[in-house]
Amino acid sequence: MIGYAFMGAAHSQAWRTVNHAYDLPLKARMRVVCGRDGGAVAAAADQLGWEEHATDWRQVIARDDIDLVDVCTPGDSHAEITLAALAAGKHVLCEKPLANTVDEARTMTEAALAAQAQGIRSMCGFNYRRVPAVALMRQLIAAGKIGTIRQVRAAYLQDWIIDPDFPLVWRLQKERAGSGALGDIGAHIIDLAQHLTDQRISTVTALTETFIPQRPLPTSAPTGLGGGAGPAGEGREMGEVTVDDAALFLARLDGGAIATFEATRFAAGRKNAITIEINGSTGSLAFDFERMNELQYHSTAAPIAEQGFTRILVTEPEHPYLAPWWPPGHTIGYEHTFTHQAHDLIQAIHSDTDPSPSFTEALQIQQVLHAVGESAGNGRWTSVEKAA
């Protein structure tokens, strides 16, 4: 695993757990974790359960005892690490978004397709599609339970940067992150909408906004008397925020549905609020991540006097992913989505099949992100380039 911060911890928990929860034909062995800071990565290896630690990812990828490379770094290094890993004949799991630009994502996809011919598998990490309730939602839609899909509403709301004194971390720098709320959290609801409906976004019209254009640099210190930072970073060295704080867009999907999307890191009181509702000709399905073990379902086939949204508690062993976990009614959490992701990747590698989302799917999401950015700049409806 390359990288060991927030996503590294989540992925590590999955690799530690997957073979204990599921009876799999291959065993995940946590051989080595890699990071630039020797002391910090050594501590991470001990805490997260890795056998070894290293500071040079190139040496790690060259090792014969490494079969799979898990890329958990900021977006600006995804392409370099992934391309090197594929060239070395390693399977790759790369966190989302796949890259910072369409060109990078396209190059990565071409390399993945070439490696695929040699039995090398690659997958992009969109973990929310592996929430059991979301997986059940997809099954119900595919079974025709809501009829013809007409409308999608999706939102991802957070609030962790509303304080003007919050420092200029890498997620707020375009050269590191590629984009702001749009790529960081908006990519997830784009993937969910397309995955659930089996339709692709074809055109968009968008608005993005940066509410706080300057922030204190992480290494700067307050200079005012009393040690206070002062209002909006006063007394600190400041830097430019070069990404969006919020992104909103309308979309048309290639199957005829219309959609609205909202991604913001400025929704006070919302910590990790993901909602998606799919409306069809004969019913609706709705999911709220703050109630992640539940699914809301409405069918127009029910008698008028009985119509309304029904709460489905998604904890039965018949529901997706849940057979090896707890008895019905005992809920699971966020970390399980990564275990399910690891399960699916291991199964694909063993069966010599392509896991999903593939790099081709991730490239298409990158093209949606690009089209949204273009539309926000020119104020016009913008077509999404097709990935293949």
Report pLDDT digits (tens) over 91-120.
999 999 999 999 999 999 999 999 999 999
Rg of the chain taking only CA atoms, in angstroms: 22
State whether 136 and 74 are in the same domain. no
Residue 122 lies in a domain: no
pLDDT at 38 over 50: yes
Mean pLDDT over residues 23-36, rounded?
98
State whether 85 and 232 are in the same domain. no
**CATH number reported for the structural domain that contains residue 170 in this entry:** 3.30.360.10
Domain boundary among 73, 95, 117: 95
State whether 89 and 146 are in the same domain. no
Give the separation between CA 220 and CA 236, rounded to whole angstroms.
6
Residue 384 lies in a domain: no
pLDDT at res. 322: 98
Domains in the chain, number: 2
pLDDT at res. 226: 31
State whether 77 and 225 are in the same domain. no
Which pLDDT band holds residue 388 (cuts at 50, 70, 90)?
A: low
pLDDT at 279 over 50: yes
Percent of the chain residues topping a pLDDT of 70: 95
Which pLDDT band holds residue 219 (cuts at 50, 70, 90)?
A: confident
**CATH number reported for the structural domain that contains residue 26 in this entry:** 3.40.50.720
Give the separation between CA 283 and CA 299, rounded to whole angstroms.
4
Q: Give CA angle at 131 (128, 137), nearest 5°.
A: 100
pLDDT at 223 over 80: no
pLDDT at res. 236: 82
Domain boundary among 51, 71, 95: 95
Give the separation between CA 103 and CA 19, rounded to whole angstroms.
36
Query: What is the CB neighbour count within 10 angstroms for residue 224?
Result: 11
Residue 116 lies in a domain: no
| Domain that residue 69 falls in | 6-95
